[in-house]
A = this chain, B = another copy of it.
Amino acid sequence: MTQYGRVEKVRLLVVDDDPPIADLVATVARYEGWDAVTANTGEEALRLAGEFHPDIVVLDLMLPGVDGFGVLDRLRRSGTMVPVVFLTARDGVADRVAGLTRGGDDYLVKPFAVEELMARLRTVLRRSAGPNFQRSVLRVGDLSMDEDTHEVRHGEKRLTLTPTEYEVLRFLLRKSPTVMTKAQILDHVWEYGFGGRSNVVELVVSRLRRKLDETSDTGAPLIHTVRGFGYVVRQAGE
């Protein structure tokens, strides 16, 4: 966790009245080595915030009883400045966007992709670590991805990726050199509940490969197929 300027595990509190969603987030976070607890009501959230002392909170805005804003209010009033990432329904507060990203907080529209949520959480943590924060750049071979500028470089050249391509590549880079199955990619990069169990992943990888080929100096492929298992980003020789 040194990338956040910490030695200890990140402590995450997830607040959502839908247990499967809360658990989904908590599970992914634990898998990344974080400490995560879940709350299904505002009251529980406030109690846990006091006991657990999270470093960051994921907070659904539509809660029964005290709603998300109420929880935030009470959190702040009790003196804790813990950063918050909100979850909102698409047709609810979604376009009443104003105010949610102020002060370093962020928000995400449901249904979201877990990798995207994790990425936002990492960004918020990085930022709130203070002035010693530094850019997050993922590198494999001559390929680099700057998560702040969104710049993806392949050697000298820059490539322009669509949002989906960007997310898939980020995921593969982040997991490199571990092989990821198509199911894992689908589950992490696409929104939960996405139906199309088709060959979308293959398609996006194919498009990525073409863009990588067009900008390649060496001609050596970076995205490798592991037949029967999935994909991995790895430098030729390694």
Contacts and interface: CB of A to CB of B under 8 A. Distances in A.
Interface stretch (A49-57, A191-199, A208-216): A191-199
A91 interface: no
A65 interface: no
Contact of A20 (B20, B76, B187, B227): B76
A65 B106 CA distance: 36
Interface string A173-199: 000011101111011101011111110
B103 A27 contact: yes
A100 interface: yes
Contact of A96 (B26, B101, B195): B195
A130 B76 contact: no
A47 interface: no
A227 to B, nearest CB: 7
Interface residues on A, range: 35 or more
A186 B192 CA distance: 28
Contacts of A9: 131
Given A104-B31, A227-B162, A190 B98 contact: yes
Contact of A28 (B19, B104, B149): B104
Contacts of A100: 183, 187
A107 interface: yes
B20 A183 contact: no
Contacts of A17: none
Interface in A6-25: 9, 19-20, 23-24
- Between A28, A97, A178, A197, the greatest number of chain B beta carbons within 10 A of the residue's beta carbon is seen for A97
B95 A187 contact: no
A128 interface: yes
30 contacts: A1-B131, A9-B131, A19-B77, A23-B81, A24-B102, A27-B103, A30-B104, A30-B130, A31-B104, A31-B128, A95-B197, A95-B198, A97-B183, A97-B186, A97-B198, A98-B183, A98-B193, A99-B193, A100-B187, A101-B181, A101-B183, A101-B184, A101-B187, A102-B187, A102-B192, A148-B179, A149-B178, A150-B179, A151-B177, A163-B227
